[in-house]
Structures are given as structure tokens and as C-alpha cells.
């Protein structure tokens, strides 16, 4: 059978499994808190797989290999550096997020930050800023549509609709439970393929002459892409050690973006945090090795691909029999859905929790009605979010890896001070957090959009984010030191070690 025929067979099975897991998630979803957080429901390995899968998006399996395909070895700085930033940031913040989420029944990262600093401004501001994640969602829909186009012969638009429909069904059914159950399975498949790609590269699979021949083939197409080139002169992402350092800085708050940080609530017990984070670090280091597939593809695939983001599916078609190549389509879709579903759930909670439950209905005495409405709003928002995503994705962006950072850059710039510093420094206060948030967000907008007269826009979002974080962090510290500390009783309540961690069934709603 052909690759397309096998792709359809495997894809029907895979989509059926995702919908079944969505049904299983629905059976676990009894209320709005279940839909938003799946609180205290999963062990460290299953949740670790889900977090790794969520962090490694369609960009990891398509965009990053695509960049390696076109730019060569210097582009490996990104997959080597970003896991250090992301999982290093998780080590700094995950424990506090989990403890506060369980103690105060928080459901979102904006709510956590608002609780930590007793600030409605920060909670609402971060919730509204989270709307920028629609760019991230769009990039996942585009990646899925390109995969369906390459591997299954569908039109781009048909692939877009199919992806949104599958996501919509299982997320409306089970929310965060469906998100985590499907992501755990998807993460397992993704890790297998990442290890396979790594072995293929270092053995020079499909190339006569091994890794050396891969390098020769890359330099023949791109003289600046060889392994003896550390930086590409004039490149706005890989042009210098300083730009690479900014990639690291930009990714430190990434691990607590709403679609990742909200998964910490689902860990059964805070005592499992070390095992959970250790697993995340190992898995998180393996998945970016997909970039090596882009390098191998540059040597193996004849001619030039119309879309560099399709290099991994094209590589599998070139070197494997139809069944194995079709299996790759399933894994690429896993990478896309595992990030897309978390993003959509967190996006829905902007409306269901941060704006409705915690803002417009916070004084409503009928808490049961508020919870029912919150669950309904969350499910409706899932559908609305995917509809908007389809609309924005109809004309795909040139580079998925860069496009998704339009929204992410604003988020990490605003989160860096309040959450990363606030998690570690008890002295950090409301005035410092608000100042840092404003400086980070405004700096990113000004730098990325080029609003400073006489200075060009910084089109590299990692650099714009890195500069913004480097501006916001000192502001957090300086303003805090110049203003009064928050009341000792309040801080003791936030950081108290004797936190009673409630069972998910007994949390009052």
C-alpha cells in the first residue's frame, strides 16, 4: 500500500484513540475545577509525559527541523538552549505554583500571580495578555494542516478543519483530563521518534559516508551551514553568542506559560515534584533532538522542499517503507495536538475563570450557579477559540517557530518578574510585580514593533523577549526594595510550609 493509504489507516486508529481518551476524560470531569485543572489526579510519569509533549509543540517536530534544514548546524543552538531555559524555569516555580494552586483552589497562572501579590490588576492583566496565545494556537493548526497535506493528500484547508474538529470534540468532552490523558500517550510516541531520529543522524542513515557526508551535503547547499560554523554572520537569531544568550533568557518563564503551568495542579502529591521534574528534564532534552532530522533531511532528500517545515514527513517518506513513513504522520500530529489542546484549554479559562468566575461573578452568592456557568463558558470558549484559530490560519505563516513567538514573547516578558522572581523571593511585593509586568510587556511591544524613533524593530522575538526580561527583572527588585514589604501574615499564608493539600473531590467550589 502507499504512504497515503497507510497514513489514513493509522490516522483513523489514532484519532479514534484520542476521541476515546476524550470520553474517558469526560467521565472524570464532574465540575468546572475538573475541566480547568484535573486537580491532583495524575502521577509523575504520566504527567511528565504530558508536560514534555505540551512543551514540545508542532514547531519542535516541524518548525525547528525546518530551520535546521535551511540554516544547517548553527541552528542547533536553539534546540540545545531552550530546554535549559524552560526546565530551569520550572525548577524555580513549579513547587510554588502547585502549593498555591492546591491551597487556594487556583485554576490558572494569572490567578496564581494575582493571589501571590493580592492584585486584581495583575490577574486580569495577565489574563488579557494570555489572549496573545492565539498566535501559538494558530501555529499548531497550521502545522497539523501541513502534515495532513504532505502525508495524506488532503488540501491544506481540509487538514485545518479536521484538526480543529478532533481537538474540539475531545476538549469539549473532558477539558484538562482529556488534555492530559491524550498528551501522555502522544508524549510516549514522540519520545520514541525523537530517539529514533537521533540514532538515524549519528549513524548517517540513508547517506553514504555517515555523519561526515551529511555535513558535506549541507555545506554544498549552504556554505554557512556546516558544523565548523558556530554563528551565521548577520543572522538575527544565530548571529552571535549574545543572541544565543537571549534565547536562554527568553525561555526561563516559558515553563509556566498558562498551558504548561496549569498542569502542575494535576500532580497527585506535591511530594512527587522531584520525580516529576526529573522526568520532564530528561524527556525535555530528548525531544528537541528532532532538529537533527532537519539536518539529515538536507542530505537525504533530493532537490529543495517547497516548505522546509515539512522536512520530517518528507524524510520518512524518502528513507522508510510506507507503513513507517505513515507512522511518522501520527507522531507529528501527536506533537501538534499535545500542545494545541493545552493551549485551547488554558485559553478557554481566560473567559471561564479569570474573567467570569474571578471578576464578573466573584461576588455572586450562588456559587453552584457560578460553577455551572464557568463549566459551560469553558466549553463554549473551546469552540470559539478553535473557530478563531481556523480563521487566522487560513493563510499560513512562513515560519512556525517564529510565528508562535509573537504571542509567547509578550507572555514571557510579562511573567518573568512577577512569577519567576516572586516564586523565589518572599520580599517581592505588589508594587514591584506590577512595575515589572508593565515594563516587560511595554518593552516587548516597543522593541518588537519598532516604536522607538531611529531604531529598527527587533524582528527576532527571542531577542525582543530577552531584552524585555532583562529590563523587567531589575525593575522588580528595585521597586520592591524602595517600597514597603507586604504584610508578614499575608506572606506567611502564601509560603507557609504547613499547607493542607486537599483532595480533588473535597475542594469547595
Give the model's pLDDT for residue 462.
87
C-alpha cell read off for 373: 456557568
- Residue 267, classed as helix, strand or coil, is strand
Count of CA atoms in the C-beta half-sphere (13 A) of 348: 33
pLDDT-derived band at 339, boundaries 50, 70, 90: confident
Which distant-in-sequence residues (6+ apart) come within 8 Å of 461 by Cβ? 250, 402, 405, 406, 408, 409, 448
Residue 259 has pLDDT above 60, yes or no: yes
Q: What is the mean pLDDT of the chain?
A: 88
Strand partners, 42: 267
Residue 501 has pLDDT above 60, yes or no: no
Q: Which of 135-144, 277-286, 295-304 has the highest mean pLDDT?
A: 277-286
Dihedral (Cα; 71, 72, 78, 81), 10-degree rounding: -150
Q: What percent of the chain is predicted at pLDDT more than 70? A: 95
Q: Are 250 and 409 in contact (CB under 8 A)?
A: yes
C-alpha cell read off for 387: 473557530
Cα–Cα distance measured from residue 89 to residue 169, given in angstroms and rounded to the nearest whole number: 33
Reported pTM: 0.88
Q: What is the mean pLDDT of residues 169-186?
A: 94
Angle at 81 between CA 80 and CA 85, to 5 degrees: 135
Task: Give the tens place of pLDDT for each residue, 415-472.
Answer: 999 998 988 899 999 999 999 999 999 999 999 887 777 777 787 888 999 999 999 9
205, 358, 191: which is closest to 284 by C-alpha? 191
Ramachandran category for residue 456: left, alpha or beta (phi over 0 → left; psi -120 to 50 → alpha): beta
Residue 280 has pLDDT above 90, yes or no: yes
Q: What is the mean pLDDT of residues 332-336?
A: 80
Chain centroid to Cα 263, Å, comes to 11
Residue 502 has pLDDT above 50, yes or no: no
Q: How many beta carbons lie within 10 A of that of residue 382, not counting itself?
A: 25
pLDDT-derived band at 486, boundaries 50, 70, 90: very high
67, 324, 337: which is closest to 197 by C-alpha? 324
Give the model's pLDDT for residue 46.
95
Give, as one character, the DSSP assignment of residue 236: T
Q: What is the mean pLDDT of residues 173-188?
A: 94
Cα–Cα distance measured from residue 127 to residue 356, given in angstroms and rounded to the nearest whole number: 11
Rounded CA Rg of the chain: 22
Q: Are 59 and 335 in contact (CB under 8 A)?
A: no
Give, as one character, the DSSP assignment of residue 223: G
C-alpha cell read off for 210: 555517515
Which distant-in-sequence residues (6+ apart) come within 8 Å of 384 by Cβ? none
Amino acid at each position: 500500500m502507499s504512504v497515503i493509504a497507510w497514513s489514513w489507516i493509522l490516522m483513523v486508529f489514532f484519532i479514534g484513540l484520542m476521541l476515546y481518551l476524550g470520553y474517558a476524560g469526560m467521565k472524570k470531569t464532574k465540575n468546572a475545577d475538573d475541566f480547568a485543572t484535573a486537580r491532583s489526579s495524575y502521577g509523575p510519569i504520566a504527567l511528565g509525559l504530558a508536560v514534555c509533549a505540551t512543551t514540545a509543540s508542532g514547531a519542535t517536530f516541524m518548525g525547528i527541523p525546518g530551520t535546521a534544514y535551511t540554516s544547517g548546524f548553527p541552528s542547533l543552538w536553539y534546540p540545545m538552549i531552550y530546554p535549559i531555559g524552560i526546565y530551569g524555569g520550572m525548577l524555580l516555580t513549579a513547587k510554588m505554583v502547585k502549593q498555591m494552586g492546591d491551597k487556594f483552589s487556583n485554576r490558572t497562572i494569572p490567578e496564581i500571580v494575582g493571589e501571590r501579590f493580592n492584585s486584581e490588576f495583575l490577574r486580569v492583566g495577565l489574563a488579557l495578555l494570555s489572549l496573545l496565545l492565539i498566535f501559538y494556537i494558530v501555529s499548531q493548526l497550521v502545522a497539523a494542516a501541513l502534515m495532513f497535506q504532505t502525508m495524506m493528500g488532503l488540501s491544506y484547508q481540509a487538514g485545518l478543519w479536521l484538526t480543529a474538529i478532533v481537538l474540539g470534540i475531545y476538549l469539549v468532552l473532558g477539558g484538562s483530563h482529556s488534555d492530559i490523558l491524550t498528551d501522555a500517550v502522544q508524549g510516549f510516541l514522540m519520545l520514541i521518534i525523537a530517539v529514533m531520529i537521533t540514532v538515524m543522524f549519528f549513524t548517517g542513515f540513508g547517506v553514504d559516508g555517515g555523519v561526515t557526508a551529511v555535513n558535506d551535503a549541507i555545506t554544498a547547499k549552504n556554505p554557512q551551514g556546516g558544523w565548523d560554523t558556530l554563528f551565521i554572520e548577520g543572522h538575527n537569531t544565530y548571529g552571535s553568542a549574545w543572541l544565543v544568550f537571549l534565547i536562554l533568557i527568553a525561555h526561563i518563564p516559558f515553563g509556566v506559560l498558562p498551558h504548561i503551568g496549569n498542569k502542575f495542579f494535576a500532580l497527585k502529591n506535591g511530594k512527587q515534584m522531584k520525580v516529576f521534574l526529573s522526568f520532564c528534564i530528561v524527556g525535555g532534552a530528548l525531544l528537541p533532538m528532532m532538529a537533527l532530522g532537519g539536518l539529515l533531511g538536507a542530505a537525504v532528500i533530493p532537490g529543495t522542499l517547497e516548505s522546509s517545515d515539512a522536512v520530517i514527513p518528507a524524510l520518512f517518506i524518502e528513507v522508510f517503507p510506507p507503513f513507517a513513513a505513515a507512522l511518522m504522520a501520527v507522531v507529528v500530529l501527536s506533537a501538534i495536538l499535545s500542545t494545541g489542546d493545552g493551549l485551547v484549554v488554558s485559553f478557554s479559562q481566560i473567559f471561564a475563570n479569570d474573567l467570569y468566575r474571578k471578576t464578573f461573578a466573584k461576588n455572586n452568592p450562588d456559587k453552584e450557579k457560578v460553577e455551572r456557568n464557568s463549566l459551560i463558558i469553558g466549553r463554549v470558549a473551546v469552540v470559539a477559540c478553535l473557530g478563531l484559530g481556523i480563521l487566522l490560519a487560513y493563510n499560513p505563516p512562513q515560519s512556525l517557530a517564529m510565528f508562535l513567538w509573537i504571542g509567547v514573547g509578550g507572555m514571557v516578558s510579562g511573567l518573568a518578574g512577577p512569577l519567576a522572581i516572586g516564586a523565589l523571593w518572599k520580599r517581592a511585593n505588589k508594587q514591584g510585580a506590577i512595575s515589572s509586568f508593565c515594563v516587560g510587556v511595554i518593552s516587548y511591544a516597543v522593541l518588537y514593533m519598532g516604536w522607538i524613533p531611529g531604531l529598527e524593530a527587533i524582528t527576532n522575538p527571542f531577542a525582543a523577549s530577552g531584552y524585555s526580561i532583562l529590563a523587567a527583572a531589575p525593575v522588580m527588585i528595585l521597586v520592591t526594595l524602595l517600597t514597603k514589604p507586604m504584610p508578614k501574615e499575608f506572606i506567611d499564608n502564601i509560603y507557609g510550609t504547613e499547607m493542607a493539600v486537599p483532595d480533588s473531590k473535597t475542594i469547595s467550589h
